[in-house]
């Protein structure tokens, strides 16, 4: 989750871009870079027709020299590392062999490895470890092909851009400079990218924060749009047709602080709405063949984690046992030292920050016991990455709100990817295509459910199978940010004690989709209703029986069962967040809690 800024207009581009990048450091801050065209220094630059500066470190700590590039068109990037360690070489922009093309990128190119191998075989030389650099080399290749066909001007650029979009798999927001093209090229697929229209100047950015200082006129690109930001204005086209399209220009009446939150009142709301892209980016990644081989050879897998990460591990257990027939244990990291580790076990530590003290202690214990150890984390270079033999990164980007939302979704995505790989592609197609399902999920209005929850002293969350850990996570979100006591239960356990707590003042939130446990889950809900408890039921679209039983029925978007797991999670997050707002809680900073627990 990096930050990107582009500018073309009457002013010097570099100072505008640098100030914009400083607004985006919340998206990444391990390195930065700029590329500017029409520079007096271009002839002396290693980038040939472009002047490029890129360095490891924070843009906010950069010296004045980064603003001294002369030119009216440029692009800039502040990085949150995914492919390759933070370094000058791995910082963006990335250029082609000739130095005539510069690219900055937010997202992930899932087929970059095969593209890189092919380009190297064709004679291209790579400098960095990033997935982004393949984009610059591909554009060089496609521009050369256009030249060979006699294409010039915008026809040449059109050919290269459409060829690039046809070739790339994954998610990306791209800003591109090509020598001889008097403007910026912007491309969007799944990753955020907005454009701004000022007085004889145009802007592009990952979000509106850097733009609003200059203009309130904003144009939102849609997925598979590409745009040319030229002196005469913005022209937007739709891939694959290449047809010109109109995108509404909106006047946004926000201040810069509101823009950092994407116009939402709270970071938690913003982060909930980022989850479609976060899930896709996290799931659509390759897993090293060596890591897969180790997992396949393991006699069992043990997951160690805390809090929401523990619940993600439980989701993994249900799916791995069902689809891969692999025995899986999931242990709370702080308790793991009390247990023996079976010979042949692979241990996976799940930690958002990579610094969770209990999880680090558990992983060291596993490694000392001779187990192969894996880490699922959001932070490159964190402590857990230095202990683990194999690391799988989530693609959530920085998460500001204390309550985990997009980081939990990203962990589920990575763990589901492991299940898919070990299960020979099980539900891969469904989860590759989940983006519009999650976008539709975000249309849900939680007002009705929150009105029931806000006056309760106790709330039960119930589910069966994989929805048991989802219920645990839903209850955790509710108690974290509303301070209402909420308890997640396996629905089959209600009769073994918790039934005594059910009253007309005790709402039950039940997740009941049309999976194998549906008939018995319906019976459980009827039993809860018989005790007078109001039931909020989340279920499959078109479920007339569940709608008839429940006091409030929340239908999930029509999709495959595996997609409903993620949709149901988002619904529970939205209910908790809205309930906290109704109660006047500090949504982003709940009392007594911290984002990363680095003490035992």
Which CA distances in Å does 535 have to 68, 529, 546, 550?
63, 7, 10, 5
CA gap 361, 57 in Å, rounded? 30
CB-based contacts of 463, cutoff 8 Å, min separation 6: 470, 471, 488, 490, 491, 510, 511, 512, 521
Do residues 483 and 585 lie in contact, with contact meaning Cβ atoms separated by under 8 Å?
A: yes
CA gap 597, 600 in Å, rounded? 8
Backbone angles phi, psi at 366, to 5 degrees: -65, -40
The size of the chain, in residues, is 600
Backbone angles phi, psi at 82, to 5 degrees: -125, -50
As given in the structure block, the two tokens for residue 597 are 């627990």
Q: Which residues of 118-157 are buried (b: 16+ CB within 10 A; e: fewer)?
A: ebeeeebeeebebbbbbbbbbbbbbbeebeeeebeeeebb
Strand pairing of 373-377 and 345-351?
parallel
Three-state SS annotation for 104-117 = EEEEEECCHHHHHH
Q: State the catalytic residue, choosing from 2, 143, 489, 577.
A: 2
Q: State the catalytic residue, choosing from 322, 454, 547, 595.
A: 595
CB-based contacts of 169, cutoff 8 Å, min separation 6: 109, 110, 111, 284
Residue 512 annotated as catalytic: no
Q: Which residues of 348-370 are buried (b: 16+ CB within 10 A; e: fewer)?
A: bbbbbbbbbbbbbbbbebbeeee
Residue 2 annotated as catalytic: yes
Instruction: Report the half-sphere exposure of 313 (CA within 13 A, side-chain side).
Output: 28
Which positions are annotated as active-site residues? 2, 595
């Amino acid at each position: 989750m990096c930050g990107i800024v582009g500018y073309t207009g009457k002013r010097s581009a570099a100072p505008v871009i640098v100030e914009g990048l400083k607004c985006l450091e919340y998206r990444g801050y391990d390195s930065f870079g700029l590329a500017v065209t029409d520079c007096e220094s271009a002839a002396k630059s290693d980038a040939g027709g472009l002047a490029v500066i890129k360095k490891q470190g924070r843009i906010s700590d950069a010296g004045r020299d980064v603003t001294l590039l002369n030119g009216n068109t440029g692009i800039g990037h502040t990085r949150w590392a995914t492919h390759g360690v933070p370094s000058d070489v791995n910082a963006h922009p990335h250029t082609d062999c000739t130095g005539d093309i510069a690219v900055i990128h937010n997202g992930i190119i899932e087929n970059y490895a095969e593209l890189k191998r092919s380009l190297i075989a064709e004679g291209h030389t790579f400098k960095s470890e990033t997935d982004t650099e393949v984009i610059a080399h591909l554009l060089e290749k496609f521009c050369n092909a256009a030249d060979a066909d006699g294409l010039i001007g915008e026809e040449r650029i059109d050919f290269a851009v459409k060829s690039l979009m046809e070739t790339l798999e994954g998610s990306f927001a791209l800003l591109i400079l090509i020598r001889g093209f008097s403007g910026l090229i912007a491309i969007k697929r799944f990753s955020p990218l907005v454009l701004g229209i000022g007085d004889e100047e145009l802007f592009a950015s990952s979000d509106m924060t850097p733009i609003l200082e200059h203009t309130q006129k904003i144009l939102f690109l849609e997925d598979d749009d590409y745009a040319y930001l030229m002196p005469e204005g913005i022209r937007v086209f739709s891939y694959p047709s290449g047809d010109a399209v109109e995108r509404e220009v909106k006047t946004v009446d926000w201040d810069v602080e509101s823009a950092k939150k994407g116009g939402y009142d709270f970071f938690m709301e913003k982060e909930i709405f980022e989850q479609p892209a976060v899930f896709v980016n996290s799931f659509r990644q390759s897993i090293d063949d060596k890591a897969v081989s180790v997992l396949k050879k393991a006699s069992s897998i043990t997951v160690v984690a805390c809090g929401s990460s523990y619940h993600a591990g439980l989701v993994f257990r249900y799916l791995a046992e069902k689809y891969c027939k692999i025995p899986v244990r999931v242990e709370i990291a702080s308790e793991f030292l009390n247990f023996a580790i079976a010979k042949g076990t692979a241990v996976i530590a799940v930690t958002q920050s990579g610094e969770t003290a209990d999880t680090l202690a558990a992983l060291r214990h596993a490694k000392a016991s001779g187990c192969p150890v894996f880490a699922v984390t959001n932070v490159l270079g964190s402590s857990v990455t230095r202990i683990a033999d194999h690391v799988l990164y989530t693609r959530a980007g920085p998460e500001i709100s204390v309550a985990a939302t997009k980081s939990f979704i990203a962990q589920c995505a990575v763990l589901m990817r492991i299940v898919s790989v070990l299960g020979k592609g099980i539900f891969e197609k469904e989860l590759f295509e989940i983006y519009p399902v999650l976008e539709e999920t975000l249309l849900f209005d939680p007002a009705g459910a929150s009105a029931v929850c806000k006056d309760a002293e106790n709330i039960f969350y119930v589910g069966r199978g994989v929805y048991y850990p989802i219920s645990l996570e839903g209850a955790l979100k509710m108690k974290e940010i509303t301070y209402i006591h909420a308890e997640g239960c396996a629905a089959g356990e209600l009769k073994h004690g918790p039934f005594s707590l059910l009253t007309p003042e005790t709402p039950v939130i039940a997740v009941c989709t049309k999976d194998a446990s549906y008939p018995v889950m319906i019976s459980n809900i009827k039993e809860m209703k018989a005790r007078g408890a109001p039931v909020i039921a989340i279920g499959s679209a078109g479920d007339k029986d569940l709608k008839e039983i429940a006091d409030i029925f929340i239908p999930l978007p029509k999709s495959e069962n595996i997609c409903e797991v993620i949709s149901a999670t988002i619904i529970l997050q939205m209910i908790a967040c809205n309930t906290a707002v109704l109660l006047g809680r500090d949504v982003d900073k709940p009392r007594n809690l911290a984002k990363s627990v680095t003490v035992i």
